[in-house]
Structure 1
Amino acid sequence: MKKIKPGFFTFWVENYKTSFLLLFLIILIGVASVIVIPKESSPDIKFGIISIATLYTGVNPQDIDSLITEKIENEIEDIDGVSKITSTSSVGLSSVTVEFENGINTRDALTDIKDAVDSLTLPTDAEDPIVQEISTKNELLFDALLYGPSEEYDIFTLTSLAIEMKNELEGKGGIASIDIGGASTNPLGGSSSGESEYEIQVLVSKAKLDNLNLSLGSIVSSIRTFNKNTPLGNYTIGDLEYDFRIEGELSDIKDLENIIVSGDGVSRVRLGDIATFQKEYPNQGIKSLGFYEKTGQNYVALSFNKQSGDNVFSVSKTAKAVLQDYIQTQPEFKELQVKYSQDLAETIIEDYKNLANTAIQTLVLVFVVIFLFVGLRESLITSILLPLSFFITFAVLNIIGISLNFLTNFSLVLTLGIAIDTIIVIIEGASERQKLGYSRKTAVILAVQDLKSPLISGTATTLVAFLPLIFLPGIVGKFLSFIPITVFATLVAALVLSLTLASALFYKLAAKKKIYHSDPAHEESLSDEEKAFLLEERVGKTERKDDKKNRREIVLEKISNGYFYVLGKFIHNKFSRLMAIAIPFVLLVLSFVFLSPSIGFTLFPASDEGIININIEAQTGTDEKSLEKFIPQIENTISSFPELKVYYVTVKGNSMSVYVELTDAIQREDDGLRDVFEVEEEILAGLDSLVSAGLKVEIATQANGPPTGAPVGVKLNAASSNDIGILKEVANDFKEYLVGVAGTKNVSVSSKDNPGQFVYRFDTQKLSFSGLTPDDITGGLRANLSGLSAGTIASQYEDNEIKVQIAEYKDSVSPTDIQNIIISTAQGQVRVGDYLDYSFEPALSSINRLDGKINISVESELENGTLPTDVQPLLEDFAASYNFPSGVSYSSGGENSENAALIQATVFSFFISLFLIFSILVLQFNSYTQPAIILYSVILALLGVNIGLFATGNPYSMTFGIGFIALTGVVVNDAIILIDRINRNLDRLNSNFAPGTLVLEDYVKGLVEAGKSRLQPIIVTTLTTVFGVLPLALQDPFWAGLGFTIIFGLVAGSAMTLFVIPALYYTIYLKKKMREGEIKIEE
């Protein structure tokens, strides 16, 4: 090698000014991309799920199931791509969920579903089905909780003020829309803004109505008569035409009071004489909000939404300013206050603070490690190149339309430890060559030329290891697909930068060296031409003597020489070689036998998101007033926690939901406060008296990551709805069993208990004798019980419905009341009880189906520290030994069962990745043996992973899987470079010496020298990767399994690379050459 030939890799050094111009361009584009790229908490993911919701008010689950749900299921089950259909029929509502296979165009599927549903003939008085796609798309900015003292602001007043605010602020300050009712959803999906439309209720006294011999229909007719505008026509007066009309629409409740409903000119009865009037928001429920040591505030929630694509930070800031200004300038709002909840901008800012802190800590640790092992300027160069790879990633993500979200942010943190490995290899390689006496320019070019092939192969193996994540099925798979995209961009950017701009940076920033270090072992492997070139490069430099070396160089040289000596002895000893190969494998097998059962498995680990959801349920049929008395106890328990940020209680029907939001997890840790799991346990203990009072209390922390089902469970199935009673009995047996298993909580059955139903049946003979039909009775009966619409009265912002109903039947009704209802028919007035008899029968609160079969799921959440693998096998054993009645069967439930396809695909993907990695290595080395050696070292790294997970208490999980993929990339990369160096050394020996003159010892020296040359780079990359991932492992329990997988696996993998690979290479490859006679046996 007399001169370095010009080419692509020398261009960046020769034209370093162009390189620096490109560097600044990358910075500009990267910064611009960071500014403009959308920032979200969660990515916009289309799940391939479509929901169909149909309202049929007042109808029982059995009729909903037969009249609506079954028809919809039968119509859509043959649509292409349908993988699963689940449904729930409850009182007044049919809900069908359709899941599609991967790869199906959801937009086309949505059209097919709509067409199929539109073709059905459903009951005429049922609402039209609402068909919509389920996705994570969310333009929420924040929930503004408008609250004030209960004695001054009732719910109606607060909601009225919220409506006023909504209409005044929408369209201002980037506020696209405001939903009243908060971020919760109604039964049909979408926002609950329907709660903002109040109803004008006309509550008619039944006794007065009967005395006047009137019906609700006649009252409605009177209201409609007085509540209409009448056009009189268009007439000409003079030369102009004018419209003539009668303005008769009502404008206020007081107008209703004066409507004449009965009487003649002498005696008239006004509506106000027989009815009372009130405004009420339907389904509003009872609400209360509070904070630490402050309770009992009435509130209304307003969800502020932005336009798609708007910057969440600027719009959120502006929207809050507009909101605060409005409150301060409007007199009616002066006593009210606002508390923000589910603040997306705040959440994202915290995410980026954590990302920035992790990145800074990583860069500092990497800087220190490289400084200690390589040098100050080299650490500066590395610290410049790593952020550049991130800038390129930001630009790529922005171009392909992917936002910055918790998954891309995590991927960036993950690639810190992998990308730095690629960069360090070049910088450390150039530094080592410079120490030998090469100039900066020559050193970095030689490093790039020598290491480019193994680096490209190493990066390719890492990329193909992540590649299968793009194709994983299900909701979790769609979430995980964002990880490889980000990893690809970052690693390719790091590789390109390492092979291009790194050369220019090293050339201009690395210190000039006037001294060099001799390395006899390395120099022996050089050809005469290469030795001459090295001597030429050393001209004007002096050799550094041992007494002139600094402490760092002395320590590193001692480590290097010590490894060289140990490896040499180790390679020559057959027993040591065989033990090095066999013992790690035996220990790996033992770790799976003895440690893995204790490690356990969960799909995603728990993490402290600071949100607790509590659901408190009374027996079906319990009214809201009966539950209201428990609110003070709930509030006193929750408000006593200093960790509390805000809570709010909502009572609807027979259940109470409580949302508890704690202060930021890092802030709580800094203040010495408890984590979310400790608070959860104490809240549950504080609500124990509610359980004693017969209420069912379920409490759960909000999880990070993609949505998954309950951790453990079982699905009970029956072919016919006739078996549902038996199915419920079996479900109760399974529930009782799960309640008794240690570590379970919130054990639930999908079919709720119901106190029963009153079933009325017609006496058809009496109907026929009287000349009546069932419709003559049922129409009037429903009108008496549910009321009738009598038009609307326009308010400032909306038209409010007038609903006329019997006052005595508004809140409750008895079977006797129904029997005594008088209905006006064409045959005169009739008593309901004369034509209907009733009986009390068992009832269902809901009917669930899975792919057409009646289904009841028994599920359980788990206490913190309990894994699904601790409980699910016990439940499976119970099911296997259970004596199921005829017609009833079971299938496994829980998150592992629900995601069985995902887990199977992940395992399959792992083997596909191994095959692709092996193929790349075969292409790199033109050998089967050497790739097998590399993969053996990767598999042995699992020994360190198992020990690490067991020692830190982290289970196997999807994050462990991602960590092992990342680990594979780093270990393979180091192994590739080592074997490449061994091959180069042995090839040089073969080219520098005549055939037959070399003996085994010469090859052993080449092998050991290769190990020595890779010792420092492997130590540096191991330490930088370990310290790069350590902050992630320590700060976030959700990603701890991933972090410790990489940390412990890399330590073990590096040891395998340094000792097992040389032993295997000698045992397999050199021994083969000896057998083939290519190497002389004598030593």
Structure 2
Amino acid sequence: MNLTQIALENNRVTIVVLLVVVLLGLAGYQTMPRDSMPPYTIRVASVVTSFPGAGPERVEALITSKIEEVAQELPELKTVTSESRTGLSVVSVQLKQEVPPEELQAVWDRLRRKIDTIRSDLPEGIRGPEVKDDGIGVVYGIVIGLTGDGFTFAELETYAKDLRDDLIKLPDAAEVRISGIQEERIYLQFNDARLAELGLSAQKIKNSIASTNIVFSGGEVSLEDERLVLEPTGSYADLDDLGRTLIAVGKDGSVYLGDVTRIVRTYETPQQRLVKINGQPGLSLSVALSEGANIIKLGEEIDQLVALHQARLPLGITLNRVASQDFEVEKSVANFTNNLLQSVAIVLLSMLIFLGLRTGLVVASLIPMTIVATLFVMGLLDLGLNQVSLAALIMALGMLVDNAIVVSEAIVVKMEKGTDAKEAAIESARELAVPLLVSSLTTSAAFLSFFLAASIMGEMMGPLFSVITIALLSSWLLSLTMVALLAVFFIRVKRQASQSEKSTFIGRLNGQYKELLLKALAHPYSFMGIIAGLFVLSLFGFGFLPFIFFPDSERNLLTVNLNLPLGTKIETTTARVERLEAYIADSLLVSKNRQRGVTDWATFVSEGPPSYDQGYQSGEANSGYAHMLLNTSSGDDNQWVIDRLDAFCFRSFPDAEIRVSRLAGGGGGSDVAVRITGPDPNELFGLAERIKQKLNEISSAQNIGDNWGPKIKKVVVDIDQSKTQNAGLTNQDIALSLQTALTGFNTGAFREGDQSLPIVLRNESSQDVDVRQLESINIYAQGSGKNVPLGQVAQIVPQWQLAKIKRRDLYRTLTVTCDTKSGFTAQDITDEFIPWLEEDSKSWKPGYRYELGGESEQSSEAMSAVVAKLPLSGFTILALLIVQFNSFRKTFIVLSTIPLGLIGVIAGLLIFRSFFGFFAFLGLISLAGIVINNAIVLIDRIQIELNQSGRASIEAIVAAAQQRFRPILLTTCTTTLGLIPLYLGGGLMWEPMAVAIMVGLLFATVITLLFVPVLYKILFAVKN
């Protein structure tokens, strides 16, 4: 008893089960997670160490190199990169993609333990090293801006923290981060001459504060049966209390701290960071989505909460969205859902037209049932709705109809021959169950490499395999049960009705196909020569296709990254940003008179925001850096805005490196990158200049730069040790006096509620000191109490130094980068640039080499893991075919159809002026699965004709081909027509895949219907 017989004999149970699946599927759809793309794991951690005052080369030698060496000991390590700059070391440790997510924490813990073993070898006075593995790869997709006209930063911070406390309570929110907070300080500003007059020093003031401002327990005392805790007062209650601190002067005298310093409570100066919302200073709150949650639902919850807070905030405080990934996901899911519904409607209509009303309805009923069943299983497996899973459903749409077409066709044929409807269904299922199962499994096996690939690409695209497999297996199961049941109840046929009577149009096509097939069979080798020629021609045409691995995002959001030389004052960076903001407000802001442009924006100076999209990653703080986030009127208007911003920045900021761009579709980075490795920085700079000069000659290149930046100035205080000793000074006296006079140093903390504000002692003119005044700074001798001008014991020597030193796998590495201009691809640059680079590198000194990064490296890394698993996919398909046919020749026939798909794919991409990249490759894999499916059912029918009909071999081939003509043709039509909405509405990302499948399938179907019978004839030596 087969599955179909069970379903027919228990038809009421079958109907109830189907209804339950429908209800559960629809219910699950409402609660499924929704996000832009499937989640993936970033296998990167950073080790951050602060070394105040040390130059890049000293940081590199004393800290960075030692951390890199222990990181190299990790067997899971893929690459270690680092950046050493003044006062800071950042080492990035990237693990191999094969490391399972659940093992990452153990690896990072081992790294921490290894770093602990070298702490004693690191310099004193450093902060860290700290391994940061939390938050890397987390996307804070919803960003809220908070501004307040006339309100202080402290007041804004209070309101922001209140909102944060409520946001983090939302069930779908994982984390909330506030950006732009201005830290408060208590500054004790002194006059150098006044302290010298009293014989006081900064260190003496610090000691007095430290001995007064204490929070220590006084122990315990007994009182009858109790032990009471003694709590001595000591910490400062208010600023007046701080001012009353006594400082000893001379032998018996004293003075109040408030009499020798001016006590000021204010924000840290100079500013360390700044956030501006639409040009107005403010704060931002970034919200991350919980794993497996629904970002659309989170966005709705946030909107309600923001509206509630806005209603009770004082007048002048404004809350507004800065970045809204939930809007983008909602639009994306809605578009894909709309595409899916359009595809369903097109396929349903196609079935009714080609199969007639009754048969068309029976076959078409499979589509919504399969989709609902697929959604039900997806919910059980925690597969959410996103661009990938929805695209998989659209891709599977045409394939899953094939099972119902073949089953219903077989039932109809048997009924026409006089077989009872129920018996026809049972016999058809007996014949087709295994071939259809094998064809479904081979189709899904084509996507197996994406599921097994140990890479980010595998994690992102793995759901393709899962969803398509679920859909095809659901289709197979429903075809043998529901479709067979409906066919028995509803399909009525006339006995011995001819094919042309059922469908005149398809009947005529079938007749023409027979004539063409007979000609091909009559001249098999000539036909195979034509196919081989088309295949070679397609390979030649492949060279004319542009290559874009991942197109940039079409989201209505642009980014502006402004980089000034390291060490640039934040005030200078802010001034440049304000000029740019003024231009945006005046010339690009959407208004009644300007329908396209920028709708709103946010600016982050010195520190970038937390990652708000997969295409953006924030870096370490830098006072010469600013990041702007521009929301535009439409994704179609992005290029219009980019062109005008590029032109303005080119005119207005010749000394700044400014990049205006869309969000990167493939995770960020430059289009073209060349890494130069070698020991001598000056030699690296020379090679980089030659490369940049060549890139400047290429018309398609723009935004040319490097990741080291120009050298920057530094001032060396060259201490004369003999003069220092004669003056009764020490090196520590000089360093401490300079720090006090120029930046100030921490003398304690002022506690207020849950806040702890640093108390900083500094010279009242510290912010105004010019480099030419350094020699006149008084150095206080701790031993003698005397003041000595710095110029008497040291020389001030200006020098140039490296802004930063980048390393990769223990070697100094300078990377030259550039982007492509609109209308060009990275391939356009590399085709002209790489031959020159190969020739030029032959003249480089020994020890210097280059390697390519950018898009070419990203594509090869992403595809390598997928390609590495393709043999396993191929072996799975081969094993299934061997099991199905028990014949090497038949298996060879099926597998030989795979390359034929390339003919149509390349032709389609050229005709539609599209490009080849990851999604076109995805379409090629999908096409291979469909073509294999067609070949299986065709060869299986040939075998049935040979075994059951007793025909001569050539007649069996023709009869089998004609009987499978309509199912194969209908599968091609439904798949092609069903992908039209994805082509029209899927954007640049999905368009190449849709073109590859649609046009490739049209070509492959025509060729396969002829190729398989002809090759069968050749391999099995069938005579005419």
Q: Report the TM-score when normalising by structure 1.
A: 0.85
- Shift of residue 680 of structure 1? 1.9
Once the two structures are superposed, the pairs formed by residues 666-1065 of structure 1 within 5 Å of their partners are 674-692=636-654, 694-704=655-665, 706-707=666-667, 709-718=669-678, 720=679, 723-769=680-726, 773-810=730-767, 813-814=770-771, 816-817=773-774, 820-829=777-786, 830-882=788-840, 883-990=843-950, 1002-1035=952-985, 1036-1065=987-1016
Match of 1:171 in 2: 169
CA distance 1:380–1:913, change in 2 (3 Å)? same
CA distance 1:760–1:488, change in 2 (3 Å)? farther
3-state DSSP of counterpart to 1:500: helix
CA distance 1:237–1:931, change in 2 (3 Å)? closer
Q: How big is the alpha-carbon RMSD for the aligned residues of Structure 1 and Structure 2?
A: 3.1
Work out whether 1:661 is the aligned partner of 2:611. Answer: no
3-state DSSP of counterpart to 1:146: strand
Match of 2:611 in 1: none
Letter in 2 for 1:163: K
Once the two structures are superposed, the pairs formed by residues 521-600 of structure 1 within 5 Å of their partners are 553-572=503-522, 574=523, 577-593=524-540, 595-600=541-546
Per-residue CA deviations over 1:161-204 (Å, capped at 9, x if unaligned) read 3234435665368766532118xxxxxxxxxxxx3643333333
Match of 2:204 in 1: 218
Which of 164, 186, 189 lines up with 1:200 in the alignment? 186
How far apart, CA to CA, are the structure 2 residues paired with 1:426 and 1:61? 72
- Shift of residue 443 of structure 1? 3.7
Contact 2:218 2:232 in 1 (8 A): yes
- Shift of residue 113 of structure 1? 0.7
Letter in 2 for 1:512: R
3-state DSSP of counterpart to 2:439: helix
Match of 2:548 in 1: 602
Aligned residues: 989
3-state DSSP of counterpart to 1:587: helix
- Shift of residue 155 of structure 1? 4.5
Match of 2:576 in 1: 630
How far apart, CA to CA, are the structure 1 residues paired with 2:749 and 2:165? 20
Per-residue CA deviations over 1:69-92 (Å, capped at 9, x if unaligned) read 100111221222222211111222
Contact 1:205 1:275 in 2 (8 A): no
- Shift of residue 393 of structure 1? 3.7
How far apart, CA to CA, are the structure 2 residues paired with 1:163 and 1:223? 31
- Shift of residue 252 of structure 1? 4.1
CA distance 1:765–1:132, change in 2 (3 Å)? same
Contact 1:196 1:281 in 2 (8 A): yes
CA distance 1:80–1:374, change in 2 (3 Å)? same
Once the two structures are superposed, the pairs formed by residues 237-248 of structure 1 within 5 Å of their partners are 245-248=231-234
3-state DSSP of counterpart to 1:288: strand
Letter in 2 for 1:738: L
CA distance 1:348–1:847, change in 2 (3 Å)? same
How far apart, CA to CA, are the structure 1 residues paired with 2:519 and 2:164? 80
How far apart, CA to CA, are the structure 2 residues paired with 1:1044 and 1:473? 28
CA distance 1:16–1:974, change in 2 (3 Å)? same
Work out whether 1:317 is the aligned partner of 2:317. Answer: no
How far apart, CA to CA, are the structure 2 residues paired with 1:145 and 1:939? 53
Work out whether 1:300 is the aligned partner of 2:283. Answer: yes
CA distance 1:684–1:272, change in 2 (3 Å)? farther
Which of 416, 422, 431 lines up with 2:403 in the alignment? 422
How far apart, CA to CA, are the structure 1 residues paired with 2:11 and 2:74? 61
Once the two structures are superposed, the pairs formed by residues 509-528 of structure 1 within 5 Å of their partners are 510-513=490-493, 515-519=494-498
How far apart, CA to CA, are the structure 2 residues paired with 1:111 and 1:228? 36
Match of 1:486 in 2: 467
- Shift of residue 65 of structure 1? 0.8
Which of 5, 9, 16 lines up with 1:10 in the alignment? 5
CA distance 1:925–1:624, change in 2 (3 Å)? same
How far apart, CA to CA, are the structure 1 residues paired with 2:481 and 2:474? 10
- Shift of residue 954 of structure 1? 2.1
Match of 2:617 in 1: none
Which blocks of at least 5 consecutive residues in structure 2 are unaligned? 591-595, 607-622
- Shift of residue 52 of structure 1? 1.6
Per-residue CA deviations over 1:892-925 (Å, capped at 9, x if unaligned) read 2222235434444544544554454334323322
Match of 2:593 in 1: none
CA distance 1:446–1:677, change in 2 (3 Å)? farther
- Shift of residue 402 of structure 1? 4.2
Match of 2:130 in 1: 130
CA distance 1:481–1:811, change in 2 (3 Å)? farther
Contact 2:292 2:384 in 1 (8 A): no
Which of 86, 89, 113 lines up with 1:115 in the alignment? 113
Once the two structures are superposed, the pairs formed by residues 208-607 of structure 1 within 5 Å of their partners are 208-228=194-214, 245-253=231-239, 255-257=241-243, 259=245, 261=247, 268=255, 270-271=257-258, 274-275=261-262, 277-280=264-267, 283-290=271-278, 296-305=279-288, 311-330=294-313, 333-508=314-489, 510-513=490-493, 515-519=494-498, 553-572=503-522, 574=523, 577-593=524-540, 595-607=541-553
3-state DSSP of counterpart to 2:765: helix
- Shift of residue 312 of structure 1? 4.0
How far apart, CA to CA, are the structure 1 residues paired with 2:700 and 2:926? 33
Contact 1:454 1:973 in 2 (8 A): no
- Shift of residue 780 of structure 1? 4.1
Letter in 2 for 1:1039: W
Residue identity over aligned pairs, in percent, reads 22
CA distance 1:915–1:305, change in 2 (3 Å)? closer
CA distance 1:263–1:99, change in 2 (3 Å)? closer
Match of 2:143 in 1: 143
- Shift of residue 1037 of structure 1? 0.8
Per-residue CA deviations over 1:800-842 (Å, capped at 9, x if unaligned) read 2222222322476526426623233224334433333343322
- Shift of residue 742 of structure 1? 2.0
Work out whether 1:47 is the aligned partner of 2:35. Answer: no
Q: Which moved more, 1:852-861 or 1:653-662?
A: 653-662
Contact 1:934 1:972 in 2 (8 A): yes
Which blocks of at least 5 consecutive residues in structure 1 are unaligned? 1-5, 183-194, 291-295, 521-545, 666-673, 991-997, 1075-1082
Per-residue CA deviations over 1:780-809 (Å, capped at 9, x if unaligned) read 433443322232233454222222222322
Q: Which moved more, 1:364-373 or 1:417-426?
A: 417-426
Which of 98, 102, 108 lines up with 1:103 in the alignment? 98
Contact 1:47 1:474 in 2 (8 A): no
3-state DSSP of counterpart to 2:266: strand
How far apart, CA to CA, are the structure 2 residues paired with 1:313 and 1:607? 19
Letter in 1 for 2:855: E
Letter in 1 for 2:262: A
- Shift of residue 1010 of structure 1? 1.6
Contact 1:819 1:833 in 2 (8 A): yes
How far apart, CA to CA, are the structure 1 residues paired with 2:333 and 2:864? 34
How far apart, CA to CA, are the structure 2 residues paired with 1:811 and 1:413? 66
Q: Which moved more, 1:887-896 or 1:976-985?
A: 887-896
How far apart, CA to CA, are the structure 2 residues paired with 1:117 and 1:241? 45
How far apart, CA to CA, are the structure 2 residues paired with 1:857 and 1:1060? 51
Per-residue CA deviations over 1:36-61 (Å, capped at 9, x if unaligned) read 44333343322332322222233321
